[in-house]
Amino acid sequence: MRKPSAFEMSRRNLLIGTATSVAIGATSAQAQNSVPQPLAAATAADAPAMATVSFNVNGEVRALKLDTRTTLLDALREHLHLTGTKKGCDHGQCGACAVIVGGQRINSCLTLAVMHEGDSVTTIEGLGTPEHMHPMQAAFVKHDGFQCGYCTPGQICSAVAVLDEIKAGIPSHVTDDLNVAPELTNAELRERMSGNICRCGAYSNIAEAITEIAGRPA
Amino acid sequence: MRSFTYEKAHSPAAAASAAVRTSNAKFIAGGTNLLDLMKLEIETPSHLIDVNGLGFDKIEPTPEGGLRIGALVRNTALAADERVRRDYGLLSRALLAGASGQLRNKATTAGNLLQRTRCPYFYDTNQPCNKRSPGSGCAAIGGITRQHAVIGASDACIATHPSDMAIAMRALDATVQTARPDGTTRNIPIADLHRLPGNTPHLETTLGAGELITSVTLPKPLGGTHVYRKVRDRASYAFALVSVGAIVQRDGTGRVAVGGIAHKPWRVEAAEAEMPRGAKAVAARLLDGAKPTRDNSFKLALVERTLAAVLTEAKG
């Protein structure tokens, strides 16, 4: 492996130094607008609280001891090193972190890992592998359902769950008649996938990929 | 995010008493709004009480012919329930107009009612906000106010309530059941759950300390045609500029509640008497006393026109 150059090392130190001074600047700016907190309370509030949790990820039981603040997303990526699931906005707006928990798609960034004791989590790694792709993964490749690929794991997890939701008769905003089983139209797919943002704009190809899989006999 | 301790509650009474016993505690269920706000340090609980194990996840018929919806019933499950789709279509429609599929899979009935405003000044911790930091001022007033309230606001706050579901609950006259730390329970009409901002915009509901919502009850079905029309900047996955939920009977009478215009779901029963006379008459009564800003005065016309579209759709 190539050793980092002196320039890179000093650049890194410079960035760390800058980040620190920015943080101090922000703290003193905030202090002017808020009631100062006693130092001891601030220190206690910053001390991490740890908790244990055990859940099944892609068929394997995983036990973790975590800072309670750890989201399911960070537990998957940083602790279990399942980096297929992506962190986009980290605020539930983009859908890049979508995984399937107990058969339902959720945003893994907006849920705490410790709240998932005993749950079954499926990530993109659990759907398929490069050698044995899930049909939805293969369809995304075939239809060019991505460009940069960052949103793709979330898109695919969401798409797999969307087809189950339609099969289960769950209506959507564009379903004409609430009392009739929803049909798998392009409008239905687009509405149901609206929580997965693709900045490259591969939407039409994503819709084609999902449509192909949906059209196959179960 | 600030550090916090975490516990799972095993009974509503234990949850409610833990909430008052532990300083700065909060309940967590779906977490889709609370965790977002905790990451921004707008919410900074030092203790979380996970209420997901309390079993309030059923939708059951009531002796009065209505439905009791457990506080933990997820938005997806509520919208998809066969009885809700058949008898309370307005509620299904409002739920399906909100958020995204993966958020609705997590978000709960009670959490939806208690979600906080999406006012950008509330979200920006560099700005003064009386809701986030009481007494600090309101950066929205005099700021960019296209999304803000046009009625029922105050000099302290012009934020709106963001829920679609709550608009349907208000039109349906739902009641909210709670458990309190002293072991008692109570019923709160949905009209009395949310407050107007006044001088205390940080107090958003009439719930007491540690009071936990356990269910939301719908009265027996009203019949009629149920319509929810949401006007927003995108076709999907956006908060309302204006939304109108209505139940219209064959004779033209009915109910209407409006979202996107006030600090709580906006319904004026007296305005409903005008329904047979059309949208203009209803809107005039509904918006009596409105004080829009230059940025959001369009909402007055938008309410009237959206209501006109809803009444036309209801006629079929």
Residues A144 and A166 in one domain: yes
Q: What's the pLDDT score for residue A42?
A: 42
**Quick check: A37 pLDDT over 60?**
no
Give the DSSP letter string of B220-253: S---SEEEEEEE-SSSSS---SEEEEEEE-TTS-
What range defines the domain where residue A65 resides? 50-126
Which two three-digit tokens encode residue B185? 């329970």
Q: Which of A79, A106, A126 is the last residue of a domain?
A: A126
Place of tokens 């833990």: B18
Q: How many CB atoms lie within 10 A of CB A180?
A: 11
A13: phi then psi, degrees, rounded to nearest 5? -65, -40
Q: Which of A62, A96, A126 is the last residue of a domain?
A: A126
Residues A68 and A132 in one domain: no
B181 neighbors B211 (Cβ within 8 angstroms): yes
Q: What's the pLDDT score for residue B128?
A: 98
CA distance B308 to B316: 13
> Sign of the C-alpha dihedral, residues B30, B35, B37, B42?
positive
Specify if A207 maps to a domain. Answer: yes
Q: pLDDT digits over A47-65, tens only?
A: 899 999 999 999 999 999 9
Residues A133 and A192 in one domain: yes
Band (A45; pLDDT cuts 50, 70, 90): low
Contact across the interface for B102 and A114, Cβ inside 8 Å: no
CA distance B141 to B269: 29
Residues A101 and A159 in one domain: no
Residues A118 and A163 in one domain: no
Which ipTM was obtained for this model? Answer: 0.97
Specify if A114 maps to a domain. Answer: yes
Specify if A185 maps to a domain. Answer: yes
Whether the CB of B118 is below 8 Å from some CB of chain A: the reply is: no
Residues A77 and A102 in one domain: yes
Residues A101 and A149 in one domain: no
Q: pLDDT digits over B250-294, tens only?
A: 999 999 999 999 999 999 999 999 999 999 999 999 999 999 999
Specify if A43 maps to a domain. Answer: no
Band (A44; pLDDT cuts 50, 70, 90): low
Nearest Cα of chain B lies from the Cα of A14 at a distance, in angstroms, of 26
Contact across the interface for A194 and B236, Cβ inside 8 Å: yes
Helix H segments across chain A?
Answer: 6-33, 39-46, 72-74, 124-127, 135-142, 152-167, 186-192, 203-215
A154 neighbors A214 (Cβ within 8 angstroms): no
Give the DSSP letter string of B32-95: TTHHHHHHTTSS--SEEEE-GGG----EEE-TTS-EEEETT-BHHHHHH-HHHHHH-HHHHHHH
Q: How many CB atoms lie within 10 A of CB A32?
A: 7
Contact across the interface for A69 and B1, Cβ inside 8 Å: yes
Total count of domains within chain A:
2
Contact across the interface for A67 and B39, Cβ inside 8 Å: no
Contact across the interface for A115 and B105, Cβ inside 8 Å: no
Residues A106 and A183 in one domain: no
CATH code assigned at A68: 3.10.20.30
- Which of chain B's residues have a Cβ under 8 Å away from the Cβ of A107? 32, 102-103, 106
Nearest Cα of chain A lies from the Cα of B181 at a distance, in angstroms, of 23
Whether the CB of B47 is below 8 Å from some CB of chain A: the reply is: no
CA distance A32 to A35: 8
**Quick check: A95 pLDDT over 50?**
yes
Contact across the interface for B102 and A178, Cβ inside 8 Å: no
Residues A112 and A140 in one domain: no
Residues 80-99 on B with a CB inside 8 Å of A are 80, 85-86, 89, 92-93, 96-97, 99
- What does the CA dihedral A68, A69, A74, A76 come to, rounded to 10 degrees? 20
Q: pLDDT digits over A135-181, tens only?
A: 999 999 999 999 999 999 999 999 999 999 999 999 999 999 999 99
**Quick check: B197 pLDDT over 90?**
yes
**What's the length of chain B?**
316
Specify if A3 maps to a domain. Answer: no
Residues A132 and A208 in one domain: yes
Band (A19; pLDDT cuts 50, 70, 90): very low
Nearest chain B residue (CA) to A154: B102
Residues A178 and A160 in one domain: yes
Residues A96 and A117 in one domain: yes
Q: Which of A126, A146, A173 is the last residue of a domain?
A: A126
Q: pLDDT digits over B125-173, tens only?
A: 999 999 999 999 999 999 999 999 999 999 999 999 999 999 999 999 9
Interface contacts A/B by beta carbons within 8 Å: 119
Specify if A117 maps to a domain. Answer: yes
Specify if A14 maps to a domain. Answer: no
**Quick check: A31 pLDDT over 80?**
no
Give the DSSP H/E element, type plus range, for residue B310.
helix B298-315
- Per the model's pLDDT, the better-predicted residue between A94 and A25 turns out to be A94
Mean pLDDT lowest among A121-130, B8-17, B44-53: B8-17
> Which pairing describes strands B225-231 and A50-57: parallel, antiparallel, or unpaired?
unpaired
- Which of chain A's residues have a Cβ under 8 Å away from the Cβ of B101? 105, 158, 161-162, 165, 172, 192-195
Q: What's the pLDDT score for residue B241?
A: 98
CATH code assigned at A200: 1.10.150.120
CA distance B37 to B3: 14
Specify if A4 maps to a domain. Answer: no
